[in-house]
Amino acid sequence: MTKEEVELLQSEDVRRAIDANIERDPNAVALDRRVPCAQLVATQVKYLQRARHKLPHLYAARCIIPPRAFEQSSSYESAERKQLGGDSLVDLCCGLGVDAIAASRRFRRVVAVERDEVLAEVVRYNLALLGIDNVEVVSTSAEEYVATTTEHFDWVFLDPDRRSAEGRKLVRMEDCSPNVMAMMPRLEAIAERVALKLSPLFDVDEALRLFPDAEVEVVSLAGECKELNIYTVRIQY
């Protein structure tokens, strides 16, 4: 999604068009000459319809949903299952902001780090639509933020990108971006505890080998394994 598309999606005319066509077939919307920015509206209608059950809060507020970010995001139900709470949390891989939004209900302050400037602006806009005012969005890389921050948090949370540049799914932790293994000493320096979200295909025994003092949680919804979460304070090098 481009900066220009985001600006159009924030305009009143386009927002009204999305709302007016929310129940229609997106393919029909795309071909309707009466609809302003029909292709863009159709794409949002398509993903808002998909978000109705996966991300109902975003659907209800008619938030902007970039397609790639939607495909990679947790469901809100999965995000709510995480065993996190306290005064402050930094989410180093914000994406669409689903985990940061869930954390905003359990923490006084949340910092959401997103390296894509356009996606960061989308998250800021969506937070305003949702009336959430305790999440600060910072547009930089996780590596840069961790290297330069002087803050200390109760929790640092990471959901690293598990797809290669070619779109191939990655399972090994050290292959994901950012490289959690390389960052771990600095993560432990800026937070009391570290939480990681990994692929449901990640080997539980390997997780326990890498994080011997950790709690490993496998999240299953409707009989389907969705994610593997690790809650730890120390890693074995």
Domains defined along the chain, listed by start: 3-54 (no CATH), 72-232 (3.40.50.150)
pLDDT of 48 reads: 98
pLDDT of 237 reads: 36
Residue 234 reports pLDDT greater than 50: no
Return the biggest CA–CA distance within the chain: 61
Q: Are 93 and 142 in contact (CB under 8 A)?
A: yes
CA-nearest of 78, 79, 111, 114 to 93 is 114
Average the pLDDT over each of 60-74, 177-191, 207-221 and give the range with the smallest value: 207-221
How far is the C-alpha of 58 from the C-alpha of 118, rounded, in Å? 18
Q: What is the mean pLDDT of residues 142-168?
A: 83
Residue 56 reports pLDDT greater than 80: yes
Residue 125 reports pLDDT greater than 90: yes
pLDDT of 195 reads: 93
Percent of the chain with pLDDT over 90: 65
How far is the C-alpha of 88 from the C-alpha of 109, rounded, in Å? 5
How far is the C-alpha of 115 from the C-alpha of 145, rounded, in Å? 10
Confidence tier at 236 by pLDDT (50, 70, 90): very low
DSSP result, 163-199: B-TTS-B--SGGGSBS-HHHHHHHHHHHEEEEEEEE-
pLDDT of 233 reads: 57
> Which of residues 57 and 184 earns the better pLDDT score?
57
Q: Which residues contact 79 (CB under 8 A, 6 or more apart)?
A: 98, 99, 101, 102
In the block, residue with structure tokens 């006084």:
108
> Which of residues 31 and 173 earns the better pLDDT score?
31
Query: What does pTM read for this prediction?
Result: 0.88
Confidence tier at 155 by pLDDT (50, 70, 90): very high
3-state DSSP assignment of residue 28: helix
How far is the C-alpha of 126 from the C-alpha of 129, rounded, in Å? 5
pLDDT, mean over the chain: 89
Confidence tier at 88 by pLDDT (50, 70, 90): very high
Q: Which residues contact 215 (CB under 8 A, 6 or more apart)?
A: 83, 230, 231, 232
Q: What DSSP state is assigned to residue 115?
A: S
